[in-house]
Chains A and B, each alone.
Chain A
């Protein structure tokens, strides 16, 4: 199993550009999430999904869009990039089973917005 994969590993954008960060998992996990990691601020939840066709906002959803058409994929779209979105983005997945909520993380996408 590849686990959770993310592409690209690194991206540079200009202010106003749009892009999609890809995330896929092959563990048949029901739950998937997107976090951003900034120095000194831990991980902040952007959006999450409890199953195909179901998404919800997290702590910092503004400027981001998600959809979940399949169990495996959960792309994150930046609609109009801003320098404040410079960060490291992590995708994670977990099972829908009480006591098995361990999050499995991808390797991250480092995004720089100029």
Chain B
């Protein structure tokens, strides 16, 4: 079956530091890949996505590239802010499956 593995957290960074959160996946088909973000007390919301190999998703300074050869979708940001503190989830969804598979989430704390 499908699975998503995220780097273990939590991650604590100083403001303006570089962020990488690793994500690798196992899938039987050709899934779309996602990063979702969850702020305290809220539901998950889409941060970025990529639907095919070599696509790069980007939003709010975050980027991730769909690497089929390494089955990875690592999240990066060049300069984090305190407001980026949240839990980040990597996920995949197969076409027409009606459901998604999520990683365990990585908690990011950014200190001023």
Contacts and interface: CB of A to CB of B under 8 A. Distances in A.
B104 A42 contact: yes
B4 to A, nearest CB: 8
Contacts of A101: 32, 93, 95, 97, 100
Interface in B75-95: 89, 91, 93, 95
Nearest to B51: A99
Contacts, number: 69
A102 B99 contact: no
Given A50-B98, A90-B43, A108-B42, 10 more contacts: A31-B99, A40-B104, A41-B104, A42-B89, A42-B104, A56-B98, A98-B95, A99-B32, A99-B95, A103-B93
Interface of B: 32, 34, 36, 42-46, 49, 51, 89, 91, 93, 95-105
